[in-house]
Amino acid sequence: MKPSHKTAPGVKIPESIGKPAYRALQAEGFLTLHDVSRVSEAELLELHGVGPKAVNILKAALQQQGLSFTKDDEDYE
């Protein structure tokens, strides 16, 4: 699920999401909250090491920056 973009400038992903989740995101090329905002919660949960706790922390961090996750495809049906 490597992002098809270069890292967007912005706030780095908070390490408080936990080391496994942090490493999983970095391995996929997600380095900033702007990068994370380009995928859905469901896509993140598919990554080994990323669980609901990490997603909730990321959601709060995104909201503080005026960002959000993209919507799941299911929301458009």
- For 19-35, how does the pLDDT look when each residue is reduced to its tens digit (9 = 90+)? 999 999 999 999 999 99
Residue type, 63: Q
User: Taking a C-beta distance cutoff of 8 angstroms, is the pair 39, 6 a contact?
Assistant: no
Determine the straight-line distance between the first and last CA of the chain, rounded to whole angstroms: 23
pLDDT at 41: 96
- Give the pLDDT of residue 73: 56
- 31-57 pLDDT, tens digit per residue, is 999 999 999 999 999 999 999 999 999
What's the sign of the alpha-carbon dihedral 73, 7, 32, 3? positive
